[in-house]
């Protein structure tokens, strides 16, 4: 499909839901706006692919060290490697492996309650998605600078290939400083490329990029992204199987009936031959 509906799933259910329809063939925005509920977007999804963005306020992007000898069982071991990084019991979080090296794994962590709430709301609205991507990872990737954009009164920041998050405007300078302190403190702070209007107290290292719709920027980034939180228990079912599943018991019963009738027919033929 050449047209894509991109929806941002919010952490706060009271916030408006940003959305945008983008035509890849025409290279233009068909429609965009904010919805009060996902059911308002059902008609926009007809004959279009639907991509969902996960609110980074509900996603923890972090790195864990891979214990020696556990590479083969990495995905089953990952939740237990996060016990010091998450406040909840590891059984209550969904972990997605984004990338890995020989020694480290980059992961995304979301509460299962949040994942289920999003999927239930999508299902109730008749919206089918096959990709769910952390919204901050849909911002442009810049090696020598952070990417930032404002959405729903919070700032999204992408600080690396698989790192980033969101912060309220008040806490943004503190967070950027903490990102700098995690690296080489002898280096000057990285530049911040803002795809929204600069905050009033923006430091000298902020630079404003040509402003466009933030949802358009994220939609284009989502189309190029290889990340997807819908793995494991949340992996989408094949749609054909999903439609055929309710008829499975009927098919089994029909098969048994055909077998019984076939056996009776064979028995009748033998009986006739015997006579």
Which are the contacts of 259, defined by CB distance < 8 A and separation ≥ 6? none
pLDDT in tens, 23-61: 989 999 999 999 999 999 999 999 999 999 999 999 999
Query: CA nearest 220: which of 136, 98, 138?
Result: 138
Residue pair 4/24 in contact by the 8 Å Cβ criterion = yes
Q: What is the pLDDT of residue 159?
A: 95
Number of neighbouring beta carbons within 10 Å of residue 217: 22
pTM confidence score: 0.83
Closest by CA to 77, choosing from 43, 100, 54, is 100
120-150 per-position pLDDT tens digit: 999 999 999 999 999 999 999 998 999 999 9
Euclidean distance between CA atoms 21 and 47, whole angstroms: 12
Mean pLDDT (10-residue bins), the chain, 275 residues: 92 96 94 97 96 97 89 84 84 94 93 97 96 98 94 95 95 90 77 94 90 92 96 80 49 56 64 65
pLDDT of residue 270: 66
Strand 132-134, strand 191-194: pairing: unpaired
Order of strands, sheet of 3-9, starting from the edge strand that comes earlier in the sequence: 28-35, 17-23, 3-9, 49-54, 132-134
Measured CA to CA, the distance from residue 36 to residue 41 in angstroms comes to: 10
The Cα–Cα gap between 256 and 88 comes to 49
pLDDT at 206: 95
């Amino acid at each position: 499909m050449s047209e894509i509906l991109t929806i941002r799933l919010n952490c706060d259910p009271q916030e408006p839901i940003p959305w945008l329809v983008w035509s890849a063939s025409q290279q233009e925005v068909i429609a965009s706006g904010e919805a009060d509920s996902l059911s308002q977007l059902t008609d926009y999804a007809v004959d279009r692919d639907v991509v969902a963005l996960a609110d980074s306020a509900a996603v923890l992007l972090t790195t864990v060290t891979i214990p020696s000898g556990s590479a083969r069982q990495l995905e089953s071991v990952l939740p237990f490697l996060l016990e010091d990084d998450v406040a909840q019991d590891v059984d209550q979080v969904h972990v997605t492996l984004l990338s890995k090296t020989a020694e480290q794994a980059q992961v995304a962590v979301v509460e299962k309650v949040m994942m289920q709430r999003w999927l239930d709301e999508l299902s109730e609205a008749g919206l089918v998605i096959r990709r769910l991507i952390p919204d901050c990872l849909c911002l442009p990737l810049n090696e020598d600078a952070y990417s930032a954009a404002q959405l729903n009164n919070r700032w999204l920041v992408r600080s690396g290939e698989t790192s980033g998050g969101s912060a309220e405007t008040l806490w943004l300078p503190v967070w950027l400083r903490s990102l700098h302190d995690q690296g080489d403190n002898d280096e000057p702070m990285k530049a911040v490329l803002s795809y929204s209007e600069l905050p009033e107290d923006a430091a000298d290292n902020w630079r404003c990029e040509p402003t466009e719709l933030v949802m358009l920027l994220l939609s284009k980034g989502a189309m190029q992204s290889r990340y997807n939180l819908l793995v494991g228990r949340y992996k989408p079912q094949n749609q054909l199987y999903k439609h055929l599943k309710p008829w499975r018991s009927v098919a089994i019963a029909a098969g048994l009936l055909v077998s019984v009738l076939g056996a009776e027919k064979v028995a009748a033929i033998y009986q006739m031959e015997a006579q």
